[in-house]
Amino acid sequence: MRILYLSQVLPYPLDAGPKMRSYCVLRHLVQNHDVTLLTFIRDSDRPEYIGHLAEFCHAVYTVPMQRSKIRDVKFLLQSLVSQKPFLITRDYVPVMIDTLQQLTRSHSFDVIHADQLWMAQYALEAKALHPTAKLIIDKHNAVHHIPKRLANEETNIIKRQFLAREAQLIKKFEVETCQKFDYSVWVTDIDRSAVLTPPDGSNNYAKSMVIPICANPSQVTPVIRKPNARRITFLGGLHWPPNAQGVLWFAEHVFPKVQAQVPDAILTAIGKNPPANLTGQGIEATGYVVDPMPYLAETAVFIVPLLAGGGMRVKILDAWSWGLPIVSTTIGAEGIEIKSGSDMLIADTAEDFARAVISILNNKALSQQLSRNGRQTVLEKYDWQTVYTAWDRVYQELFAIELAKIH
């Protein structure tokens, strides 16, 4: 089939969860279809990244995404007037609409594939220009969960009210928008039920499927860790509010308890735009790191201390692939098939989280068990080369529905 794939981020390099999802889906789809990629790019995206995607996509088109605090104020005001979610208003770029118009006038597509909620508005625009195309949306998460959970932990009343409002607006937009697509794919059943199940308890699952985010663990060599490692590592973009919130919670409430029993422990947060107040004895914030392997080789515990978020955390799949022992909150590991105590440790209070981290630091056998079992889990359950054959069923079901309508 001829597929127009719309992405909010350039899906390469694989340094963020959404990129991993999009990249692996693309790699699967191009095996049997002609895929044209239309994607936003940022200033940090390099020509060689686009060139890599062009090696296997039928064609790649890009549109610059520009962000600034001044522009955000403008979009916030528009959101207040229009009652449309700020996150959706912010990502409406007229140049993307122009590019879509040009593409749909000069090319014919069987499917318009929107990657994440942010691209839904563009897929619907493309549908209006190309009525015969079918619409698929890949929902990485129930987006409204993110501001809702952030609001629950926010102490600033103005920020809390804004986040609560945004959660309500996004949920309304999310529910209404997904109903306009011919098929929706979700990374967890938690997210699917949060959007497709109305208050009366019924559901609209007939045109949907759950396909988890996957990685490429069979191509990843486990990290050879240094003996007596004492580094506690977080890896993830700290520009994303749930990541920043979680790391700050760990640094303030958990890490001092760890230091009291393991004085030589080091907390390392790897990710761009770390919070300015992420400081203290034994704490280092590296910013974005191209190659984190030197830090991972010194990592005793990989942490996922998230208190908010949605979908799945690819950082867990990465850490499992590297053979690193993990401690996560329940929300951090949400949507992933785990065996707590076997392939990772789960802790939701500061006391329990500290206790779990200390137990790994002081128990070599436990550390090795978690490393071994975690890697086995990701190999068995989250390898895209086996799991993503489910995307073939998505396309088959979509067109089977259309054939059934005809007959």
CATH of residue 239: 3.40.50.2000
Residues 331 and 273 in one domain: yes
Residues 335 and 397 in one domain: no
How many H-runs (helices) and E-runs (strands) does the chain carry? 17, 13
In the chain the first and final C-alpha atoms are separated, in Å, by 22
Residues 229 and 261 in one domain: yes
Residues 400 and 364 in one domain: no
Residues 185 and 274 in one domain: no
Q: Read off the pLDDT of each residue in 52-72 and give the average, rounded to a whole number.
A: 92
Each residue of 166-186: b (16+ CB within 10 Å) or e? bbebbbebbbebbeebbbbbb
Residues 208 and 108 in one domain: yes
Instruction: At 160, list the tokens.
Output: 């809390």
Residues 193 and 255 in one domain: no
Between CA 390 and CA 211 the distance in angstroms is 7
Residues 49 and 14 in one domain: yes
Give phi and psi for 2, each to the nearest 5. -100, 115
Amino acid identity of 40?
F
- Kindly report, residue by residue over 363-390, the tens digit of the pLDDT: 999 999 999 999 999 999 999 999 999 9
Strand partners, 346: 328
Domain that holds residue 347: 218-381
Give the residue from 390, 53, 24, 372 showing the smallest Cα distance to 214: 24
Confidence class of residue 406 from pLDDT cuts 50, 70 and 90?
A: very low
> For position 399, what pLDDT does the model report?
79
Residues 247 and 180 in one domain: no
Each residue of 321-347: b (16+ CB within 10 Å) or e? bbbbbbbbbebbbbbbebeeeebbbbb
Q: Read off the pLDDT of each residue in 63-68 and give the average, rounded to a whole number.
A: 88
Instruction: At 344, list the tokens.
Output: 């990772």
Residues 126 and 163 in one domain: yes
This prediction's pTM: 0.88
Between CA 241 and CA 231 the distance in angstroms is 23
Sheet with 231-235: list strands edge to edge. Answer: 283-287, 266-270, 231-235, 299-304, 326-328, 345-346
CB 268 within 8 A of CB 233: yes
Strand partners, 61: 38
pLDDT above 80: residue 169: yes
- Kindly report, residue by residue over 203-249, the tens digit of the pLDDT: 778 799 999 999 999 999 999 999 889 999 999 999 889 999 999 99
Residues 86 and 195 in one domain: yes
> For position 407, what pLDDT does the model report?
45
> For position 402, what pLDDT does the model report?
56
Between CA 215 and CA 92 the distance in angstroms is 30
Q: Read off the pLDDT of each residue in 73-99 and give the average, rounded to a whole number.
A: 91
Question: Count of domains in the chain?
Answer: 2
Confidence class of residue 405 from pLDDT cuts 50, 70 and 90?
A: low
Residues in Cβ contact with 221 at an 8 Å cutoff, skipping those fewer than 6 apart: none
Q: Read off the pLDDT of each residue in 54-59 and give the average, rounded to a whole number.
A: 97
256 by Cβ neighbours in 10 Å (0-12 / 13-18 / 19+) ranks as middle
Residues 184 and 266 in one domain: no
Strand partners, 208: 184
Between CA 271 and CA 240 the distance in angstroms is 10
Q: Give the mean pLDDT of the chain.
A: 93
